[in-house]
């Protein structure tokens, strides 16, 4: 056993006295093998791969494999001419599918400025660090690879890694862990030394050379005991040292001397990499954000990495500045006994921070070029930079800075603590000194400063003895102000906020004196308050950029202060401010704008808009047609049929339960519709039992009144004895339809769909944010359907018709022939009301009305006037046989009557005599064969976008 262990130690490390490190197992999300086929390799690379594989096999880094896992392998040639073997582990590294990431142990590079100045250094590099750290035995098969054979003339050779493979997701973390364990005894024994370890690079610093030698000697032994090896050809003991890409001298840290190749900068990806590299060394170079604005601007636009980019002359100058800074910039190593200070400079674009020790520069600090907010106050930027740099200093040395120097007076600092939340956060728990005296040194003189730190023109309180001006803007492009004088400006913008912004800019330009501005746009007020000292975020909208920049320039050019505040529009509050704001609103508002706003809120139909506002039919139709929700959610045509309706309000109700799943536990919507007025009432309930039905009906009684009759389906809630008892108490008659036949409930079924469609319109396309509960959403929909919408066969809203009993149709009371199907005879009756495809006819006095399909109706051709039904009844009443014989002799007789009936039904739908006459003329033309009758087919949509007034237009837009 002892000889076996010795052989294992020798085969793994080549040193018989050292135990191999204990491996760290990996965590896998799946045991399903991942196999990626090996791609063909050129002969030269294949030969190099065989040599490298044999070399690794001899060192014990790989072993033969029959693993079901496979990752492609390839080789690259170094500048020295040597080949390097790499494994493509992208499939294995898939974080969400295969391997569990361990997370980084060193999320950033250490700052070399924290190495004490004048301390001697020694820098070492661990040799083949990954290859000296073993994989757990159960993990080896996951990292198998295949060396192919040319033309498949022999079996491929397969191996698997026994040590950390380069390119594996968790290899750096495991390496850092192993090296960190090896260095822990060194850190404990030589705690007064400064040791930096990053991956496999180690730096040691000590106050004296003797102590450094002792530390290094002990470190060598600990590294060897851990199974790691030091690369003897990479040990550095004299200046200049090179570590983590920087050059280290006794007191200075300098960036590497590099030259930027500008001929390769052609795509977004090229510039992204360049700016990433520059940002990495900016804390050393000290290039403020404003000096790189043009380079950052190149990144705007298309997000495709291969999209073309061009180096502008301004950006070329900025690259030249970067190259100059690379050649001359330097930072200082610190004195471990002295404290750090933070200087904040009010540079253009955004403030710049500098960490110093006495007068020695330690590190620069900057804010990002782009911001999250559209407007960021300069004082807020300073506070953000202070908070950011304080955290950086704590990370570097474990302590807050001793002093923070800012370009503000003592009183301004006091006001900042009172008024700025960002300032309070940035300086929270700071116990050091806040000063405004900068050290006397020339290293900061190149910085370009700004004077716009705190507002000079904008006031936070109303100005006394100043003019008051009211502004307003409209989405029709008009901007206006009113006050000592009035002015209306026609703009190119179709946004009310942008038009209002133009109004404010115009006021600031027109009044060269102190003014108080009152606006009903909270957005414009806040923007105007902040713009004087704000950094304006770049927007892809060029118009918005131009407006904001013009606003800022206008404010900064003013010689007199101004104050701006917000007032709520369209309120009934008394006082001169409300009246003056209404006057400004009148300068830009119109009935069309108000109609658009109401439709955006409620999705009222065309006829409702026309009835409520002074707009044309075309304007109302345009509003509805441009609404995406109303176009998508138009209801299909309902088939004509007979469904008896009430002849007055509360004569007959239909009631049903529908479901809206988005309402959650209140998804049971009980719906009641008055069949005469089409007035709808609905409530959200948690079920559809009798108790829920009674609760719903009591709500209906409070709104609609008590009906004479209710028709429902045969649901258990409607057929229970408790419900029948409830109805008898209220003296209400109850009927049910034919079981499983929804046509008997066609009116309420249609109402269910109309109501749910309205809910969807207002939820997905509405402007109201207050309707958050199910009942609030339902109430808004009911308000629109009852009090705003006007349907095809109505001239008033359902609410007006229900509450006043006003009839819509002027075509009632005419005598008509109707066919009694039971007796097969024709009788004379009087029309009570017309419907779609049917009419309600009174057979005579003291007789119940009957509902007759229009195909069983004929007009009474004698003059109606004072004609009595009893006059010449025998000659007036056509017998069935007589009529049939007449039909056979002259086929046009019945067709003429049917056209007339169709004409009268259409006229009843249209609702006005003038429009009815127009349609009568068209139908007469149709009957004579002059026009295709189908072109004038009436639109049957309840929410017809043409209001039922223009049937031909409906064929092209509604259908």
User: What CATH number did the domain enclosing 906 receive?
Assistant: 2.30.30.10
Round to whole Å and give the CA distance between 195 and 201.
11
The whole-number pLDDT of residue 21 equals 67
Round to whole Å and give the CA distance between 530 and 523.
11
Final residue of a domain: which of 573, 589, 605? 589
Examine residue 696 and state whether it is found in any structural domain, yes or no.
yes
Contact 35, 68 (CB under 8 A): yes
| Average pLDDT estimate for 286-309 | 88
The answer to whether 512 is a known ligand-binding residue is no
Same domain, 765 and 659: yes
Q: How far is CA 943 from the centre of its chain?
A: 32
Round to whole Å and give the CA distance between 728 and 224.
100
Cα–Cα nearest to 233, from 128, 140, 160: 128
Same domain, 399 and 470: no
Q: Which of 17-26, 155-164, 487-496 has the lowest mean pLDDT?
A: 17-26
Same domain, 325 and 352: no
Examine residue 262 and state whether it is found in any structural domain, yes or no.
no
Q: How far is CA 895 from the centre of its chain?
A: 60
| Average pLDDT estimate for 617-642 | 62
CATH number at residue 553: 3.30.420.10
The answer to whether 603 is a known ligand-binding residue is yes
Q: What percent of the chain has pLDDT over 90?
A: 41
Evaluated on CA atoms 201, 203, 209, 211, the torsion sign reads negative
The answer to whether 585 is a known ligand-binding residue is yes
Indicate whether 597 pLDDT > 60. yes
Same domain, 180 and 283: no
Examine residue 445 and state whether it is found in any structural domain, yes or no.
no
Helix (H, G, I), strand (E, B) or coil at 876: helix
| Bridge partner residues of 160 (DSSP) | 63, 144
Indicate whether 302 pLDDT > 80. yes
The whole-number pLDDT of residue 3 equals 40
Domain region containing 515: 458-589
Indicate whether 883 pLDDT > 50. no
- CA dihedral in degrees (404, 410, 415, 418; nearest 10)? 60
Round to whole Å and give the CA distance between 496 and 585.
11
Residue 186's pLDDT band (boundaries 50, 70, 90)? very high
Whether pTM exceeds 0.95: no
The whole-number pLDDT of residue 815 equals 79
Round to whole Å and give the CA distance between 75 and 45.
6
CATH number at residue 168: 3.10.10.10
Contact 357, 342 (CB under 8 A): no
CATH number at residue 301: 3.30.70
Indicate whether 865 pLDDT > 60. no
The whole-number pLDDT of residue 542 equals 84
Residue 813's pLDDT band (boundaries 50, 70, 90)? low
The whole-number pLDDT of residue 832 equals 77
- Edge-to-edge strand order for the sheet containing 825-834? 850-853, 838-842, 825-834, 815-820, 857-859
Same domain, 46 and 152: yes
Q: Which of 570-579, 709-718, 825-834 has the lowest mean pLDDT?
A: 570-579
Indicate whether 669 pLDDT > 90. yes
Indicate whether 716 pLDDT > 70. yes
Examine residue 880 and state whether it is found in any structural domain, yes or no.
yes
Indicate whether 878 pLDDT > 70. no
Phi/psi at 752 (nearest 5 deg)? Answer: -55, -45
Same domain, 407 and 301: no
The answer to whether 204 is a known ligand-binding residue is no
Evaluated on CA atoms 791, 794, 795, 801, the torsion sign reads negative
Task: Report the domain count for the chain.
Answer: 6
Same domain, 232 and 281: no
Query: What is residue 425's DSSP assignment?
Result: H
Examine residue 167 and state whether it is found in any structural domain, yes or no.
yes
Indicate whether 906 pLDDT > 50. no
The whole-number pLDDT of residue 869 equals 39
DSSP readout, 525-547?
A: HHHHHHTTTEEEPP-S-HHHHHH
The whole-number pLDDT of residue 536 equals 87
Examine residue 613 and state whether it is found in any structural domain, yes or no.
no
- Model confidence pLDDT, tens digit, residues 356-380: 998 899 999 999 888 888 888 999 9
Indicate whether 908 pLDDT > 80. no
Final residue of a domain: which of 329, 358, 376? 329
Same domain, 686 and 791: yes
| Average pLDDT estimate for 461-481 | 86
Same domain, 296 and 185: no
| Average pLDDT estimate for 164-187 | 92
Same domain, 189 and 43: yes
Q: Which of 71-80, 695-704, 751-760, 789-798 has the lowest mean pLDDT?
A: 789-798
Number of CB atoms found within 10 A of residue 551's CB: 21
Same domain, 833 and 753: no
CATH number at residue 431: 3.30.70.270
At what angle are helices 591-602 and 617-625 packed, to 10 degrees?
40
More confident residue, 315 or 6: 315
Indicate whether 902 pLDDT > 60. no
Indicate whether 915 pLDDT > 70. no
The overall average pLDDT reported for the chain is: 81
Greatest Cα pair distance in the chain: 140
Indicate whether 637 pLDDT > 70. no
Residue 741's pLDDT band (boundaries 50, 70, 90)? low
Cα–Cα nearest to 343, from 217, 433, 244, 468: 433
Strand stretches in 96-228, DSSP E? 121-125, 144-147, 157-161, 194-198, 201-205
Q: Can you read off the two tokens belonging to residue 898?
A: 């049917």
Examine residue 911 and state whether it is found in any structural domain, yes or no.
yes
Final residue of a domain: which of 280, 310, 329? 329
The whole-number pLDDT of residue 261 equals 81
Same domain, 132 and 63: yes
| Average pLDDT estimate for 903-930 | 39
Phi/psi at 860 (nearest 5 deg)? Answer: -80, 115
More confident residue, 575 or 162: 162
Residue 323's pLDDT band (boundaries 50, 70, 90)? confident
The answer to whether 193 is a known ligand-binding residue is no
The answer to whether 904 is a known ligand-binding residue is no
- Model confidence pLDDT, tens digit, residues 113-162: 999 999 999 999 998 888 889 999 999 999 999 999 988 889 999 999 99
Examine residue 604 and state whether it is found in any structural domain, yes or no.
no
More confident residue, 203 or 276: 203
More confident residue, 854 or 27: 27
Indicate whether 942 pLDDT > 60. no
Strand stretches in 216-311, DSSP E? 241-243, 246-248, 252-254
């Amino acid at each position: 056993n002892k000889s076996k262990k010795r052989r294992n130690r020798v085969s793994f490390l080549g040193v018989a006295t050292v135990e191999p490190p204990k491996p760290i197992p990996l965590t896998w999300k799946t045991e399903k093998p991942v196999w990626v086929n090996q791609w063909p390799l050129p002969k030269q690379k294949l030969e190099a791969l065989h040599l490298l594989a044999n070399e690794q096999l001899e060192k014990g880094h790989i072993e033969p494999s029959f693993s079901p896992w496979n990752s492609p392998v390839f080789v690259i040639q170094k500048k020295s001419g040597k080949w390097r073997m790499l494994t493509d582990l992208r499939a294995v590294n898939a974080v969400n599918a295969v391997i569990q990431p361990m997370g980084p142990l060193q999320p950033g590079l250490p700052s070399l400025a924290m190495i004490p100045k004048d301390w001697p250094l020694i820098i070492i590099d661990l040799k083949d660090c990954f290859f000296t750290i073993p994989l757990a035995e159960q993990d080896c098969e996951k990292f198998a690879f295949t060396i192919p054979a040319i033309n498949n003339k022999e079996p491929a050779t397969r191996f698997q890694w026994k040590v950390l493979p380069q390119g594996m997701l968790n290899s750096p973390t495991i390496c850092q862990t192993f090296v960190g364990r090896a260095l822990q005894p060194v850190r404990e024994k030589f705690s007064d030394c400064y040791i930096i370890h990053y991956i496999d690079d180690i730096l040691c610093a000590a106050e004296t050379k003797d102590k450094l030698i002792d530390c290094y000697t002990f470190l060598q032994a600990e590294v060897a005991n851990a199974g790691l090896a030091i690369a003897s050809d990479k040990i550095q003991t004299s200046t200049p040292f090179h570590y983590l890409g920087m050059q280290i001298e006794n007191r200075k840290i300098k960036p590497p001397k590099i030259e930027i190749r500008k001929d390769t900068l052609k795509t977004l990806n090229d510039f992204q990499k360049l700016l990433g590299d520059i940002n990495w060394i900016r804390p050393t170079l000290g290039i403020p954000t404003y000096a790189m604005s043009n380079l950052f601007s190149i990144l705007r636009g298309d997000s495709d990495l291969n999209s073309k980019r061009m180096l502008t002359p301004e950006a070329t100058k900025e690259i030249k500045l970067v190259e100059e800074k690379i050649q001359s910039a330097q930072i200082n190593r610190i004195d471990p006994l002295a404290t750090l200070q933070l200087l904040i400079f009010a540079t253009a674009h955004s403030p710049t921070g500098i960490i110093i020790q006495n007068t020695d520069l330690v590190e620069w600090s900057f804010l990002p070029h782009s911001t999250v907010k559209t407007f960021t106050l300069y004082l807020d930027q300073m506070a953000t930079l202070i908070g950011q740099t304080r955290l950086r200093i704590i990370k570097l040395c474990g302590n807050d800075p001793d002093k923070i120097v800012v370009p503000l007076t003592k009183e301004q600092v006091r006001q900042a603590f009172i008024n700025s939340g960002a300032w309070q956060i940035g300086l929270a728990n700071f116990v050091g000194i806040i000063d405004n005296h900068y050290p006397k040194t020339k290293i900061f003189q190149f910085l370009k400063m700004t004077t716009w730190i705190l507002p000079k023109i904008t006031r936070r309180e109303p100005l006394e003895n100043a003019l008051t001006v009211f502004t307003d803007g409209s989405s029709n492009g008009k901007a206006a102000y009113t006050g000592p004088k009035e002015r209306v400006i026609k703009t190119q913008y179709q946004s009310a906020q942008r038009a209002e912004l133009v109004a404010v800019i115009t006021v600031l330009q027109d009044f060269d004196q102190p003014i108080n501005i009152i606006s009903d746009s909270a957005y414009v007020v806040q923007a105007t308050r902040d713009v004087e000292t704000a950094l304006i975020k770049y927007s892809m909208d060029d118009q918005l950029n131009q407006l904001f920049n013009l606003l800022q320039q206008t404010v900064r050019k003013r010689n007199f202060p101004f104050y701006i505040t917000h007032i709520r529009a369209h309120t009934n509050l008394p006082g001169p401010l409300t009246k003056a704001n209404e006057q400004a609103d009148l300068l830009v508002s119109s009935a069309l704008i108000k109609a658009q706003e109401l439709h955006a809120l409620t999705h009222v139909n065309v006829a409702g808009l026309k009835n409520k506002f002074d707009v044309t039919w075309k304007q109302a139709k345009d509003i509805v047609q441009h609404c995406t929700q109303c176009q998508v959610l138009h209801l299909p045509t309902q088939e004509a049929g007979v469904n008896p309706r009430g002849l007055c309000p509360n004569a007959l109700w239909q009631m049903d339960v529908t479901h809206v799943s988005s309402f959650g536990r209140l998804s049971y919507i009980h719906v009641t519709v008055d069949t005469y007025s089409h007035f709808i009432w609905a409530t959200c309930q948690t079920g559809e039992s009798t108790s829920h039905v009674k609760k719903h009906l009591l709500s209906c009684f409070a709104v609609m009144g008590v009906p004479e009759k209710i028709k429902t389906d045969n649901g258990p809630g409607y057929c229970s004895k408790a419900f029948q008892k409830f109805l008898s108490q209220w003296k209400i008659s109850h009927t049910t339809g034919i079981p499983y036949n929804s046509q008997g409930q066609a009116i309420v079924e249609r109402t269910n769909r109309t109501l749910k469609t309205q809910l969807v319109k207002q939820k997905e396309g509405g402007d109201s944010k207050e309707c958050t509960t199910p009942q609030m959403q339902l109430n808004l929909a009911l308000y629109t359907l009852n009090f705003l919408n006007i349907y095809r066969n109505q001239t008033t809203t359902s609410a007006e018709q229900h509450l006043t009993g006003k009839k819509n149709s002027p075509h009632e009371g005419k005598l008509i022939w109707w066919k009694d199907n039971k007796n097969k005879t024709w009788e004379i009756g009087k029309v009570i009301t017309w419907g779609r495809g049917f009419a309600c006819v009174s057979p005579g006095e003291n007789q119940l009305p009957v509902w007759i399909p229009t195909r069983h109706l004929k007009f009474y051709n004698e003059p109606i006037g004072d004609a009595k039904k009893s006059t010449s009844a025998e000659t007036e009443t056509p017998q069935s046989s007589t009529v049939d014989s007449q039909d056979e002799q002259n086929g046009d007789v019945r067709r003429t009557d049917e056209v007339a009936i169709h004409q009268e039904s259409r006229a009843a739908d249209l609702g006005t005599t003038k429009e009815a006459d127009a349609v009568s003329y068209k139908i007469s033309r149709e009957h004579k064969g002059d026009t295709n009758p189908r072109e004038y087919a009436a639109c049957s949509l309840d929410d017809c976008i043409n209001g039922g007034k223009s049937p031909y237009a409906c064929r092209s837009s509604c259908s």
